[in-house]
Amino acid sequence: MFCGARAARLLGEPLNRRSTAVSRRRLIAGVSASVIALSAACCVAAGFLVRGHVLGRLYNDIVLDNYDHFLPCERLPSSAEVNRILEEHQDTVEAIKEVNPGFVFVEIDDWSCSGRADIVISYASHQDRLAIEKIIGGDTFFGVPYRLRNI
């Protein structure tokens, strides 16, 4: 498993410079290809983690017990649309607040993105979050993105 002139001397084999050079080139080519492939895989994985907000989602979910949609302002509905949806589904808003009265709040965030809005639901415990998510039943509140905040 040795290669090169040193290996030939150690094994007592006659030194063949041509085969030694070929072996060295093959070894270098194999190592280079492996390093390039590993680097490409790392770049793809890093891009996936950053673009998909994977680390942010994990931190929010596991450490903070929060949920965030990570949508840019351009993809949020207008403030008027969010107000209309909340008014139309006031019974669902009240059901969310009744999960833990006085400790669950539903607000419209129309200050972060000018002319655009989403819903912020604040709650006191993980059990509250689970109950709220069960009431909403999806990634949006009737088409409006929402964020969950453990307070």
For residue 144, pLDDT over 70 is answered with yes
Structural domain contains residue 77: yes
Structural domain contains residue 18: yes
Structural domain contains residue 107: yes
Mean pLDDT confidence for 9-27? 63
Tokens of 111: 């200050």
Same domain for 85 and 134, yes or no, is yes
Tokens of 17: 């410079």
For residue 30, pLDDT over 80 is answered with no
Quickly list DSSP for 59-78. Answer: IIIIII--B-----GGGSPB
Same domain for 35 and 97, yes or no, is no
Order across the sheet with 144-150: list the strands. Answer: 105-109, 118-123, 144-150, 140-141
Mean pLDDT, the chain, whole residue set: 83
Structural domain contains residue 61: no
Where residue 61 falls (left for φ over 0; alpha for ψ -120 to 50; beta otherwise) is: alpha
Q: How far apart are CA 43 and CA 55, in angstroms?
A: 15
Structural domain contains residue 97: yes
Structural domain contains residue 115: yes
Q: Which domain holds residue 36?
A: 5-51
Same domain for 100 and 27, yes or no, is no
Structural domain contains residue 105: yes
Mean pLDDT confidence for 123-151? 96
pLDDT digits (tens, 9 = 90+) for 54-101: 777 788 788 889 999 999 999 999 999 999 999 999 999 999 999 999
Q: What CATH number should be reported for the domain holding residue 111?
A: 3.30.300
Same domain for 83 and 131, yes or no, is yes
Structural domain contains residue 57: no
Same domain for 138 and 72, yes or no, is yes
Number of domains in the chain: 2
149: which strand partners?
A: 122
- Write down the pTM of the prediction: 0.67
